[in-house]
Each structure stands twice: as C-alpha cells, then as structure tokens.
C-alpha cells in the first residue's frame, strides 16, 4: 500500500469536487453548490496560473489532496504558496498522508527560488489540524484574517447574500 504524491489532472476532477464538498461540510457545516464548485475546480485544473492541486494516491485511489494558490509579497520579493483545500479521506487519517503531501510541496517550493514560504489557514477550533500543521514544522503566524465576502450585491457560492456570520 504505497502512497504516491502527484500533480492532479483533469481526470481527478470528480474526486477533488467530492473531497472539497466533504471538507466544507465537515469543517464549516456548509453545503457547497456543486456546479459552482465544479467550475472552480476545473478552472484551476485548466489554468496553472490560478494554482495547482496535489493528490495523494494509494492503490489507484485518491486519499488526500491539497490546493496551492499564489500570493506575491512585495516586501519579501517572492511568492508564498498558500496551502488550501486540505482533505484526507477519513479512513486514511493518522497514516501520514498530509505529512507526505506537505513534504512533497515543501521540496517543490524549496527548489523554486521565487517561492519564499508556505502558508495556510485553519479554523480556530480545529485543534487537531493545528497539531498536524505544527508537527510538520509550521508555526502560527501573528496575523488575524479579515474578509469581505461576498462582495455587495453578489450571491456567494452557497447561494445566499451576506457574510459567513449571517448563515447558520
């Protein structure tokens, strides 16, 4: 049962959509609109300027994934790779799947002189995720996160207008 870490391809679209929907439900109790989610996943799979997915595969089946998006820092003259959409299938948790993906991404980032760091955000209450991220060498940064989503007059991805705090 060897774990393989590889770049995602268009053939992974269904698995990524399913995992992202499960992630949203599990982490934020949100049911994502599948059509919007599918368009978003496909946009990344078709345009590497937006980011890239990495898949952890065991016996030909996706058991974990991450999405990398890019943030340029003028202060540091380089890119942060943001680790997003982290999901490990429940039956594969605790077996080093995220650690393997993270080590792979860290090695890719280190080999790219334009990348200056890796970042991610996690729900404040998700203490088990915090422990995992610390165990791979990540540290909690001193920034809080603020946002304006959706923009005024726009419906968000789950079909309501207003902030996250406005929905149950």
Average confidence score pLDDT of the chain: 91
Looking at residue 90, its pLDDT comes to: 97
Task: Please provide residue 104's backbone torsions phi and psi, each rounded to the nearest 5 degrees.
Answer: -60, -50
Q: Decide: residue 85, CB within 10 A, 0-12 exposed, 13-18 middle, 19+ buried.
A: buried
- Domains with residue ranges and CATH for the chain: 3-138+152-166 (3.40.630.30)
Looking at residue 147, its pLDDT comes to: 87
Looking at residue 96, its pLDDT comes to: 95
Task: Quickly state the pLDDT bin for 159 (edges 50, 70, 90).
Answer: low
Looking at residue 148, its pLDDT comes to: 86
Tell me: the pLDDT tens digits for 25-41?
998 899 999 999 999 99
Q: What is the pTM of this model?
A: 0.89
Task: Please provide residue 110's backbone torsions phi and psi, each rounded to the nearest 5 degrees.
Answer: -65, -35
**Rounded mean pLDDT, 140-145:** 88
**Rounded mean pLDDT, 60-83:** 97
Q: Decide: residue 92, CB within 10 A, 0-12 exposed, 13-18 middle, 19+ buried.
A: middle
Higher-scoring residue by pLDDT: 28, 22: 22
Task: Quickly state the pLDDT bin for 165 (edges 50, 70, 90).
Answer: very low
Looking at residue 157, its pLDDT comes to: 59
């Amino acid at each position: 049962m060897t774990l393989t870490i590889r770049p995602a391809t268009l053939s992974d679209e269904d698995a990524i959509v399913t995992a992202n929907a499960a992630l949203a439900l599990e982490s934020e109790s949100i049911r994502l609109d599948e059509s919007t989610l599918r368009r978003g996943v496909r946009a990344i799979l078709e345009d590497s300027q937006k980011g890239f997915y990495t898949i952890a595969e065991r016996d030909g089946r996706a058991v974990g994934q991450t999405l990398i998006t890019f943030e340029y820092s003028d202060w540091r003259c380089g890119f942060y790779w943001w680790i997003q959409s982290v999901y490990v299938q429940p039956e594969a948790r605790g077996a080093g799947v995220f650690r393997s993906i993270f080590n792979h991404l860290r090695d890719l980032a280190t080999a790219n002189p334009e990348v200056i760091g890796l970042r991610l955000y996690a729900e404040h209450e998700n203490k088990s995720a915090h422990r995992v991220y610390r165990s791979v060498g990540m540290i909690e940064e001193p920034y809080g996160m603020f946002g304006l989503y959706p923009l005024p007059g726009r419906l968000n991805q789950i079909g309501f207008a207003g902030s996250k705090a406005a929905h149950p």
